[in-house]
Amino acid sequence: MEFVTQILRWIHFLAGITWIGLLYYFNFVQTPFFGETDPAVRSGAIQKLVPRALWWFRWGAMFTFLAGILMYLYEWVRQADVFFVSPYGVSITVGGVLGILMFLNVWLIIWPCQKVVIASAAQVAQGGQAIPEAAGRARRAALASRTNTLFSIPMLFFMGASRHYPSLVGQPSGNAVATLFIIVAILIAAIELNCLVGTQGATKKPLDSVSGTLWAGFLFWLVLILLFEIIL
Ligand code: HEM
């Protein structure tokens, strides 16, 4: 079994690097470049480059998720009663929930929206009309992508903490863990809600800029760490 879980871990790392590497490429490199470049260059890239990058991006997300959820379920079953009061169980649940939301944002928001953006660019390149909803879909995908960048910062910390930083959690009571999970769930839900309704007029600051997104990610990490320290 140790061999099987190590293979899963290996797949998880390889797919995770692929996914998050492309997420950072989209946010830190491609979007600023698209903002500055000529429409013709942007259109060519949307038709030929973006679909390739998105293929690796969404399947990277899929394999990261599948390997991650299998490892999670395996440990849950193995540790049974003590899982949710163990340092591993508490940290990996927080990291895993963030990762699962990021995975859902990829497959349910970013990819469906980008399909419309790509189809619209292809139609315009062939002399047709742009798809009317394409601009709105592009903004929605961008906000989900920024939200994932924000989430990735604490996500990776808690994922690594699960095996390497047990003193973050110690030996908490079931009540303390339940309190922590409820507060953390409310905070995560608020950020995800901003992602879901943000393009319909609600504020999406600080996610308007890359630097704002990074600041928000590190601030969110700090809030989570303080909650761990105070509650557990
Ligand atoms: C999509 C949802 C995700 C789930 C459900 C998940 C789940 C897990 C689980 C259960 C482990 C523990 C493995 C073990 O027992 O050793 C783990 C470890 C890890 N995960 Fe994830 N993960 C997810 C996403 C990600 C992403 C996007 C990354 C980014 C690259 C990532 C990076 C890592 C790393 C680096 C570790 C190793 C921790 C260590 O040092 O042992 N995970 N993940």
- Per-residue pLDDT of 17-38, as tens digits, reads 999 999 999 999 999 999 999 9
pLDDT in tens, 136-191: 999 999 999 999 999 999 999 999 999 999 999 999 999 999 999 999 999 999 99
Res 40 pLDDT > 90 = yes
CA of 196 to the centre of ligand 1 (A): 25
Between residues 81 and 224, the one the model is more confident about: 224
Number of structural domains (the chain) is 1
Please indicate whether residue 219, judged by its CB atom, sits closer than 6 Å to ligand 1.
no
pLDDT in tens, 72-90: 999 999 998 999 999 999 9
Q: By C-alpha distance, which of 23, 2, 13 is closest to 67?
A: 13
Whole-angstrom CA distances from 147 to 37, 69, 104, 106 are 24, 21, 12, 11
CA of 230 to the centre of ligand 1 (A): 25
- If one counts every other C-beta atom within 10 angstroms of the C-beta of residue 169, the result is 22
Nearest CA to ligand 1 atom 6: 68
Nearest CA to ligand 1 atom 18: 159
CA dihedral 16, 21, 27, 31 (to 10 degrees): -130
pLDDT in tens, 89-125: 999 999 999 999 999 999 999 999 999 999 999 999 9
Domain of residue 142, residue span: 2-231
Q: 205: pLDDT confidence band, cut at 50, 70 and 90?
A: confident
Res 201 pLDDT > 80 = no
The half-sphere exposure of 75 on its side-chain side, counting CA atoms within 13 A, is 24
Please indicate whether residue 158, judged by its CB atom, sits closer than 6 Å to ligand 1.
no
Specify whether the backbone of 37 is left (phi greater than 0), alpha (psi in -120 to 50) or beta.
beta
pLDDT in tens, 207-220: 999 999 999 999 99
CA of 212 to the centre of ligand 1 (A): 25
Nearest CA to ligand 1 atom 7: 68
Tokens of 160: 């690594």
Q: By C-alpha distance, which of 213, 31, 15, 163 is closest to 110?
A: 31
Res 202 pLDDT > 80 = no
Q: Where do we find the tokens 């995975």?
A: 103
In order, the DSSP letters of 108-175 are IIIHHHHHHHHHHHHHHHTT-PPPTTHHHHHHHHHHHHHHHHHHHHHHHHHHHHHHH-GGGT-S--HH
CA of 159 to the centre of ligand 1 (A): 5
**Amino acid residing at 136:** G
Specify whether the backbone of 205 is left (phi greater than 0), alpha (psi in -120 to 50) or beta.
beta
